[in-house]
Structure 1
Amino acid sequence: MTKEVEVAAHHSGKDYHDPPPAPLIDAEELSKWSFYRALIAEFVATLLFLYVTVLTVIGYKSTTDPNLDADQCGGVGILGIAWAFGGMIFILVYCTAGISG
Structure 2
Amino acid sequence: MLHHDLSAMTCGRPNLSQEKVLWDIALSHFGPEALHQLVRDIWCEAKPPARILVETLDISNLGRVVLDILLIVKIELEIAVPYRAARPDQITWYSHHVQHLINGLLDKIPA
Instruction: Give yes or no for TM over 0.5.
Output: no
Structure with greater proportional strand content: 2
Give the TM-score, by structure 1 length. Answer: 0.26
Bigger Rg, which one? 1
Give the TM-score, by structure 2 length. Answer: 0.25
Tell me which of the two structures has the higher relative contact order, counting C-alpha pairs closer than 8 angstroms and 6 or more residues apart.
2
Structure with greater proportional helix content: 1
